[in-house]
Structure 1
Amino acid sequence: MPSTFRRPLANRVFVLALGAIVATSLSACSSSNTTAANNSAASKTLTVGFVPDPSWAQVPVAEANGYFKSEGLTVKVIDFSTGVQSLQALAAGQVDITTSADVPVSAALASAKNMVIIADGSRWKGSVIVGSAKAGIKTAADLAGKKVGTPLGTSAAYFGASFLKQSGVDAQLINVAPSAIVTAMQQGNVPAVSIFQPFQQQVIAALGSDAVVLKPAAGTYVQQSLYLASTTAVKNKADALKSFELALEKASKDLTSQKASAVSAVATATQLSPDLVKTILPEFDYTIELPSDLPTGLSSLGQWAKTEGNLPSTATIPDYSTFINRDFLPAP
């Protein structure tokens, strides 16, 4: 801290005048340097909306293993229960990046124009219906006339609707929040659920021998687990977005090899045991990419969203290719 002292009165007026000039100059330089430093730090700071789901397991792994830090990033992660909520935060400018599955993204992009897709973080083929044997569920046919719990408007709801249609079963999908799924099944509020990970595995574990896993008869829905960025972040934080995806790529390699630190990070984020994490990680392809057929798939999901009332019947399905930005993908 600089020392302070008093000058002789004869010199004080001149010194004060000179001091004012110097102080103004130094203040301007200091302010300029501070502003530049702050701008630089802000450009490498990202707020990330995260749905605690193994689909985007790169986020907790990159955070735990120091990959964000090694890329020069300061990352603040905010948890959301569903992709629908995380997309709302992105549209409102509350986060720079968010995670969401393809189904809610297809609906969000029909109205929100301030976001783009910057990566497909994983593909998941593990969707199933989980039923309760005590509730009389043994096969898909037993769902007829019953209610199936699911968070409406999500990838889980899409799979549930597709499963019922494929099985020729007339059942009703009702809204159950992810956080209430396990309790709803344990208390018998619904006889079956369609839910994404980690809740799917939590339901199966909670029901134990009472759990009945119903797989689709033919084919399956492959959930595409997307990363989206605000157009503001694309404009002002391009270098940070590139660094973010490089960190995700490093984390993907750890997930694919089931590195112990990666398993531990996912277990902590999803509240699953490490053994269960090891069981479900192979269900995911963690390659960071943007498949060429993504716009076509989103268009189909957008049409489904209209039929389900998640989009107004008058809504125009956009050209989803205009929302895809490949500038930040890691080099092959």
Structure 2
Amino acid sequence: MSSPSQSETMTTQEEQESPSVSVSVFAACTELTKPGITKLVTITALVGLGLGGLHYGGLGVWDWARLIVGVGLGTAIASGGANALNMWYESDRDAMMKRTRVRPIPSRRLSPRFVLLFGLGMTILGCVILGITAGLLPALVALLTAASYVLIYTPLKPITITNTLIGAVPGALPTMIGTSAVAPGMGFEPLVEPVGLMLFCLMFLWQLPHFFAIAWMCRADYEAGGFRMLPIVDPVGNHTAATMVFTSLLLIPAGLAPLWITPELSGWGTGIASVLLGGMLVVLSLRFAIKRTDRAARVAFFGSIIHLPVYLIVMVAEAGVKGLLL
């Protein structure tokens, strides 16, 4: 039987440890959502909403408020859930890679069962929020995005080097969560509206030089995890470099597309941003093609990180100014 002083000490320790455990679990759950990816997915969905809303028109102040909150919150939660499910599925391979062995499941901070339930719950909750605030179609697009990411792209990573191309589809679909919330038409017609397709193509192409640069830098780690990435079967880097250069070149006309598809919202700013930023990424991809080093791949990777947010800021800002002046 413990003495009063021992009981008091144990109680004090429990009181001190309980908050730290809660904070640790919260931090691990946050890590499951891959905050960087979730942030990018949410931003692209909101860009689709903003550009589509200004182009198609007919939205009042309360409509904008409802859609911005609903699309932003629903997309973020659904994306976080899909990322958690990805970590659950890949936990065994993550344990074999230096870059990912500290993730919540391999590091034993969270159990696989908890992560599975957390991911499913978040994905469903995000889709429900989208369905209530933005409509059935945006919710279905979010569900399709999560399903294709977890059930198609993730299982294909250890099987085929085309996984990056396939994975770029769920990476580009979130733009259509936003556009489908405001585009006219019945049924699935809003999914083939030009604004949504334009943004989908832009995001699809941008991901390729971005993720091939990552795959080159982390090729040894990916090989240790049993993933089939292009740089692993292309050790010299010929195909990796050619793909990066080609897709970087295609980003320039993709970035110029708003001048024809949404001419009332786009102008010199968007055009100049597309040419300069796309040109920068082409040069950095060519530099990688010449050098074939991790450093050159890292520079191209950071170039892609500069390209997308700056281009989107310029495009949305110009569209916002022109939209308000119409």
Length-normalised TM-score, structure 1: 0.26
Richer in helix (by share):
2
Larger Rg: 1
Richer in strand (by share):
1
* Higher relative contact order (Cα pairs below 8 Å, separated by 6+ residues): 1
